[in-house]
Structure 1
C-alpha cells in the first residue's frame, strides 16, 4: 500500500465486473474513498458483502442507460456528504452479457437493431449522461477528472479468426462504442480544461477471465507479451490515471494491452 490515492473520492460505474471489482479493491487499499455502482443483482451484492464494512466505501444501484437514474446519482452522492473528484465511466455491456450465457451469437447480418441500440445506450449514451451530470453538478466546483474506459478494439480491428469455434464472438457494437468513447474524451478534455477538469481514456487489452487455454493461445499470439492481462495489471494503470500524478494529462488514450496495439 502506497496511499497514492489518499484524499481522492472516486465514483465508479459498472463496479461489479472483473475489472470494476478489481478497481474498487485496489483503490480502497490505496487510501481512496470509493463510491461503487452497478445494476442490482449478484454482482452488486458481492461488492457490498466484500466492502460494506469499510467506512470508505459506499454503494449505489445505478443503470447508466436510465436517464432519470443518472440525473439523480450525483445529487444522492452529494447529499450523503461525498464529493467525487474522480469518475470512472466503466459500465459497459458486452456481447456475452447482451446475448445471455450459453446463447449463440448472431452473425453480423442477423444482428438485431434492438441489440445494437441497447449496446449503444449502455456503452456510449450512458457515459455521455454521466459526463453531462458531472458538468452540471461538480465540474468547476473543485478540480476533478473523468476516466473513460475503452478497449484494445477501440482503434484496432478485431481478429475474427481467433473466435472461430469459441462460444462467443467479437461483437461489432461493442468495438464501435469503445471507439466512440474516446471521441467523447477528446471533446470534453478541451471543453472542461478552463474549469480545471481533465479527461482521459484507458484502453485495456485482453483480460483473463476463465478463458480456455486455446483462446488464451490464440489471443496471446497477437500480443507482444504473448499472454492475456491479469485484472490487477489493468488496475495498476488505472490507479495512476486516478491519482494526482496524472494531473498534467488530458485528452489522452492510454493503451494497457501488452503490446497488442504496437505491432
Structure 2
C-alpha cells in the first residue's frame, strides 16, 4: 500500500464547511483531489460554495436529528459512498452572540439555555454525525472519521487574555470540546475491527482579523509567539484521510503552536 499522503478521489463529507476553518478545509481538500460533499446550516452559502469548488452541497441543521440523518444519507448517495467524514460544526463566540443579547455573563449567572446551545451543536451534533457517517463508512468497509475539537478541550483558557475584548471563552465550549475527544476515543475502540479510524484534531487559536491586543496576548501564551494561520490546520486532515494514517486511530492531534507544552 502506498505511503503517500494522497487523497485523490477520496469521497469525503465535511460538515461545517462555511466557517473560518471549514471554508479553508474545503478549498484545500478540493485542491488535493478529494471528491467532496460540503454541508452547513440552512441559510449559509454552502450550496454556492460547493458549486464553486466542484463539490456537492447539502444543507444540514445539526440540531435537527431527522434533517441530519437525511443530509448524511444524501451526501453518501451523491458521492456513491464515503471514505471519510469530518465534523467541523460548532457554536463559536460569534454564534453565541447571535443567540443572546448577553452571551458572556459571569459563570455564576450563566443561563442553562446558553450552555445547552453549545452542547446541542458541539457534542450532540457530533454524536449524531458519527452515528450516521459511521453507518456509511461501515457500508464502505473502511474509512476515516475526524472530529474537530479544540485546545480548550485539552487545557483551560487563560481568562486574562479576554479582558477588554467583546468576546470570551465560555463553559459550554470547553466542556463540549472535551466531550468530543472522549467520544472520539470511545468510537475508535468500538470500530477498530471494522476498518474505521476515528481521530480528533484540536486547533489552538486561529487568527481571523482579531484585535491586535488580543492576538498579541494570545501569542505571548504560545512558544511560537503567534496565533495559527488557517492554512496550518488542514494538513493534518489530509494526512488522517489518507492511507498513510492507516494505523492511526483514537488520537487527538493538538495543533497549537506549543501552547499545551507549557
**TM-score normalised by length of structure 1:** 0.93
Q: Report how many aligned residue pairs link the two structures.
A: 258
Taking the aligned partners of 1:54 and 1:176, their CA distance within structure 2 comes to 34
2:122–2:176 contact (8 Å) kept in structure 1: yes
Deviates most, 130-139 or 104-113: 130-139
Deviates most, 200-209 or 88-97: 88-97
Query: 1:82 and 2:64 equivalent?
Result: no
Structure 1 pair 16–54 and aligned structure 2 pair: CA distance change class (3 A): closer
How much has 1:160 moved relative to structure 2? 0.4
How much is the aligned-residue C-alpha RMSD, in angstroms? 1.8
Partner of 2:59: 61
How much has 1:81 moved relative to structure 2? 4.4
Partner of 1:168: 167
Secondary structure, counterpart of 1:214 in structure 2: helix
How much has 1:73 moved relative to structure 2? 2.0
2:145–2:199 contact (8 Å) kept in structure 1: yes
Secondary structure, counterpart of 1:201 in structure 2: strand
1:12–1:36 contact (8 Å) kept in structure 2: yes
Structure 1 pair 103–221 and aligned structure 2 pair: CA distance change class (3 A): farther
1:3–1:31 contact (8 Å) kept in structure 2: no
Secondary structure, counterpart of 1:10 in structure 2: strand
The 5-angstrom pairing of residues 86-235 of structure 1 reads: 86-100=84-98, 103-104=101-102, 105-235=104-234
Structure 1 pair 126–102 and aligned structure 2 pair: CA distance change class (3 A): closer
Taking the aligned partners of 2:113 and 2:179, their CA distance within structure 1 comes to 19
Partner of 1:5: 7
The superposition leaves residues 117-144 of structure 1 with CA deviations (integer Å, 9 ceiling, x where unpaired) of: 1110100000101111123343253211
**TM-score normalised by length of structure 2:** 0.93
Secondary structure, counterpart of 1:65 in structure 2: coil
Partner of 2:237: 238
How much has 1:249 moved relative to structure 2? 0.3
Taking the aligned partners of 2:140 and 2:11, their CA distance within structure 1 comes to 14
1:94–1:171 contact (8 Å) kept in structure 2: no
How much has 1:94 moved relative to structure 2? 1.4
Partner of 2:251: 252
